[in-house]
Chains A and B, each alone.
Chain A
Amino acid sequence: MSLGFQELEAAERPPTIMTSRLEGELLEVSMGPQHPSTHGVFRMNVALDGEIVRKLKPVFGYLHRNHEKIGENTSYLGSMPYTDRLDYFCSMTNNWAYALSVEKLAGIEVPERAEYLRVILAELTRLQNHASLLGFLLSDMGAWGTPLMYAFREREKILDLFESLSGSRMMCDYMRFGGCRVDASPEWLARAKEVVNRFPKFLDEFENLIVENEILIARTQNVGKLSPGLAISAGITGPMLRACGVNYDIRKVDGYGYYPRFKFRIPLGEHGDTYDRLMMRALEMRESIAILNQAFEQIPAGPVMNPKVKIRAFKPPVGEAYGRIEAPKGELGFYLISDGSSNPYRYRVRPPSFINLTILEDLCLGHTVADVMVILGSVDIVMGEVDR
Chain B
Amino acid sequence: METLAEIKARTETVAPGARLEIVSNGSPSQQASLRIDNEHAVEIARFLRDDPELRLDFCSNVTGVDWLDRTIKKTVKVKQVVDGVEKEVDQISEEVIPGYLEAVYHLYSIARKHGPVIIRMRTADRTAETQLPSLTSIWRSAEFQEREIFDLYGIHFDGHPDLRRILMWDEFEDYPMRKDYREPDDYEYEPTPHDDVLEKAKRHYAPRPQLDGAEKITAQP
A300 to chain B, nearest CB (A): 25
Which one of B14-22, B60-68, B75-83 contacts A? B60-68
- Which residues of chain B are near A235, meaning CB under 8 Å? 58-60, 139-142
* A337 and B65 in contact, given A321-B29, A324-B60, A357-B144 (Cβ under 8 angstroms): yes
Please encode chain A, from 104 to 122, with 1 for each CB lying within 8 Å of some chain B CB and 0 for all others.
1111000000000000000
* A359 and B140 in contact, given A235-B59, A331-B60 (Cβ under 8 angstroms): yes
A319 touches B25 (CB 8 A): yes
Q: What separation, in Å, do the CA atoms of A1 and B2 have in the docked complex?
A: 31
Is the CB of B26 closer than 8 A to any CB of chain A? yes
B61 touches A233 (CB 8 A): no
Total interface residues on B, using CB and 8 Å? 33
Which one of A11-19, A63-71, A261-269 contacts B? A63-71
- Among residues 28 to 69 in chain A, which have CB atoms less than 8 Å away from a CB atom of chain B? 60-61, 64, 66, 68-69
Is the CB of A182 closer than 8 A to any CB of chain B? no
Please encode chain B, from 98 to 119, with 1 for each CB lying within 8 Å of some chain A CB and 0 for all others.
0000001010001001001010
Which one of B164-172, B186-194, B205-213 contacts A? B164-172
- Among residues 301 to 340 in chain A, which have CB atoms less than 8 Å away from a CB atom of chain B? 316-324, 331, 333, 335, 337-338
B29 touches A319 (CB 8 A): yes
Dominant SS at the B interface?
Answer: loop
Is the CB of B44 closer than 8 A to any CB of chain A? no
Is the CB of A232 closer than 8 A to any CB of chain B? yes
- Contact pick for B144, options A230, A319, A358, CB 8 Å: A358
Is the CB of B91 closer than 8 A to any CB of chain A? no
A105 touches B176 (CB 8 A): no
B113 touches A320 (CB 8 A): no
Is the CB of B130 closer than 8 A to any CB of chain A? no
B177 touches A66 (CB 8 A): yes
Is the CB of B131 closer than 8 A to any CB of chain A? no
Is the CB of A211 closer than 8 A to any CB of chain B? no
A232 touches B58 (CB 8 A): yes
- Which residues of chain A are near B26, meaning CB under 8 Å? 317-319
Is the CB of A387 closer than 8 A to any CB of chain B? yes
- Which residues of chain B are near A153, meaning CB under 8 Å? none
Q: What separation, in Å, do the CA atoms of A346 and B145 have in the docked complex?
A: 16
* A335 and B61 in contact, given A253-B113, A320-B27, A322-B118 (Cβ under 8 angstroms): yes
Which residues of B does A touch, CB under 8 Å?
A: 25-29, 31, 57-61, 63, 65, 104, 106, 110, 113, 116, 118, 139-145, 152, 166-169, 176-177
Which residues of A does B touch, CB under 8 Å?
A: 60-61, 64, 66, 68-69, 104-107, 230, 232-237, 246, 248, 253, 316-324, 331, 333, 335, 337-338, 345-346, 348, 350, 354-355, 357-359, 387-388
